Amino acid sequence: MSRRQSLLKQLGIKYPILQSPMAGVSTPEMAQSVTNAGGLGAIPLSTINFLQPDSIAKTEWLMENFFNGLTSSTNHHASTPVNFNFFSHTVEQPPTPDEVNNWKSMYAKLGIPTTTFNQISTFENGNVSFNEFCADGEATRRIRDILEAYKPAIISFHFGIPKLPQELLTQLEKNNNSNTLIFVTATSIAEVERIVSSEYTIHGIILQGYEAGGHRGNFAHSSKYDENMPSLTLLQRTLAYFSGSPTRPYLVVAGGIMDSNDIKVFLQAGADAVQLGTAFLASQESTTMKFFSNVNQPKLAAQATVMVDAVSGKPARAVRTQFINEVIQHSSTVGPLPPYGYAYGAYKKLKGLNVDTSLDLGFYLAGMNYYRLDRELCSTKQVMEKLISGLE
């Protein structure tokens, strides 16, 4: 059996197509449509704070929506064909008063009325790291409970390899009879090396190329000294790194893959599967559908994406709108901004206030190839049908 067939069998899916978990953008309905079509849907759990008791209810709500209307039979397979995604970055400290002031100065330079900041009196961490959960007994138990209840086919980590406590490893081993595989994102060979020398087995790697939309999952090098490999080079280099070794983790490539021809290129080059995010952004199950289905098509090709860290606190590829241009311009003039999680939380609060400004404050995460979005495809189901028909 080929590596690809073995992966499909373990995940209980028909096609080597994974939907990118997209926190705040993908929905349980999107995940359900991808799984129903024979791929693997994803549920991002990174915005849920498992230090809090309501985290279980929030997860249950997402899963109710995922299961409601799921036609793909999960009975014959012990695990649920879904990917639970977490963020495992270094634990961040709350921002200093200077960082908070710099953040306010930056948004004031963008024309946000300073009175608005009275409504953002506290900076809370909007993305608590999985590592923080692992250091807390209650949070660990809550995560163990959801892993036990739902037995996801994959549990995946972005921004690093978490130090998993024994309690979770034991649960995942129990789940292993039902195939919960552990995946971690890598953007470089240094990260691939760390993954294979991890103290527990990591079954698969999401190879995230530089084209990819959303946050870059790098953890070995800072962005400044990163090789910034595109998806195909990253795959080829990783295969070369493993050549001659009897075993290797599953390799799933993510970044810039928009249609079935792209998928074929990566499968032929040796990927076990592919992961697509941007391809789903104009569908009705995406929370940013309005933006991506309304922009003028010729303009779309001309409008760049850019890797920007000043909105969330970590590098992320987003459409270079007027808002992003101004953020880039003013962030360099104000000094250090709050760390990831805190900066992102404050930005989301600000955006939620619907401030009176001529700027669209949307932070439209998207991959470099977003200009190729097929806006005739209005639903995730249609996107999947087109991808699959091109493969068969």
Query: Which of 85, 88, 312, 379 is close enough to bind ligand FMN by CB under 6 A?
Result: 85
How does DSSP assign 162-227, residue by residue? ----HHHHHHHHHHHTT--EEEEEESSHHHHHHHHT-SS---EEEEE-TT-SEE----SS-GGG--
Binding to ligand FMN by residue 315, rule CB under 6 A?
A: no
| Identified catalytic residue from 158, 215, 221, 330 | 215
Say whether residue 204 binds ligand FMN (CB under 6 A).
no
User: Is residue 195 a contact point for ligand FMN (CB under 6 A)?
Assistant: no
Does residue 313 interact with ligand FMN by CB under 6 A? no
What SS3 string covers 281-314? CCCCCCCCHHHHHHCCHHHHHHCCEEEECCCCCC
Residue ranges in 136-165 that form contacts with ligand FMN under rule CB under 6 A: 158
Based on the shown chain and the rule CB under 6 A, indicate whether residue 214 belongs to the binding site for ligand FMN: yes
Q: Please say whether the beta carbons of 42 and 135 come within 8 A.
A: no
Please state the length of the chain. Answer: 392
172 binds ligand FMN (CB under 6 A): no
Q: Give residue 28's Cα distance to chain centre.
A: 14
Report the residue from 365, 373, 383, 384 that binds ligand FMN according to the rule CB under 6 A. 365
Does position 45 bind ligand FMN by CB under 6 A?
no
Q: Which stretch binds ligand FMN (CB under 6 A): 166-174, 205-213, 354-362, 378-386?
A: 205-213
Report the residue number, 44 or 341, with the smaller CB distance to ligand FMN: 44
Active site residue 215: yes
Is 43 one of the binding residues for ligand FMN (CB under 6 A)? no
What's the rounded Cα separation, in Å, for the pair 128 and 126? 6
3-state secondary structure of 66: helix
CB count, 10 Å around CB of 57?
10
341: three-class secondary structure by DSSP? coil
3-state secondary structure of 356: coil
25 is an interface residue for ligand FMN by CB under 6 A: yes
Which residues, numbered 268-307, are part of the site for ligand FMN (CB under 6 A)? 275-278
Question: Interface residues with ligand FMN (CB under 6 A)?
Answer: 20-23, 25, 44, 46, 85, 158, 185, 208, 211-214, 254-257, 275-278, 365-367, 369
Just list the catalytic residues: 215
